[in-house]
């Protein structure tokens, strides 16, 4: 496809989003964790913290993907997420994409690397959520 997105462009947007959103999520979530710990003397278990981080990340991506189709990193790298039909994605697709992206990373990045050999340059989470990234001018 003419407006398909390369793996390098995807990675550029992901790095941008990780720096902006990832660190912000950790800092914002850490404040209530710290306050809770100071007030109760109880440290929250790490799995609970990870769950909170994941829920916040899901909320971040859900919002941006369903409201304009672009995260901050995607805007900087001039890419947008759309459905296979070229329409804005819905919450179900955004949730599926988020979960499949976790699996794509969890498989040591293989889910992303398949975009190098896919004729449409789709990663696992693109294909399984029926979404795709497109370049915008």
Contact between 132 and 120 under an 8 Å Cβ cutoff? The reply is yes
What average pLDDT values come out for the chain (137 residues) when binned by 10 residues? 86 95 92 95 95 96 98 97 97 98 96 96 97 95
Q: What is the pTM of this model?
A: 0.91
**Which structure tokens are listed for 89?**
């994605």
**What pLDDT score was predicted for residue 4?**
87
Q: At what angle do helices 46-66 and 23-40 cross, to 10 degrees?
A: 140
Per-domain residue ranges of the chain = 7-135
């Amino acid at each position: 496809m003419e407006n398909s997105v390369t793996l390098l462009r995807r990675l550029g947007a992901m790095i941008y989003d990780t720096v902006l959103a990832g660190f912000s999520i950790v800092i914002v979530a850490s404040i209530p964790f710290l306050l809770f710990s100071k007030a109760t003397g109880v440290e929250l278990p790490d799995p609970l913290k990870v769950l909170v981080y994941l829920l916040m990340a899901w909320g971040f991506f859900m919002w941006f993907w369903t409201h304009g189709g672009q995260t901050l990193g995607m805007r900087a790298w001039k890419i947008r997420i759309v459905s296979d039909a070229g329409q804005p994605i819905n919450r179900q697709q955004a949730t599926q994409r988020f979960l499949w992206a976790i699996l794509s990373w969890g498989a040591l990045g293989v889910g992303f690397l398949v975009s190098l050999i896919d004729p449409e340059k789709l990663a696992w989470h693109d294909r399984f959520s029926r979404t795709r990234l497109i370049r915008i001018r």
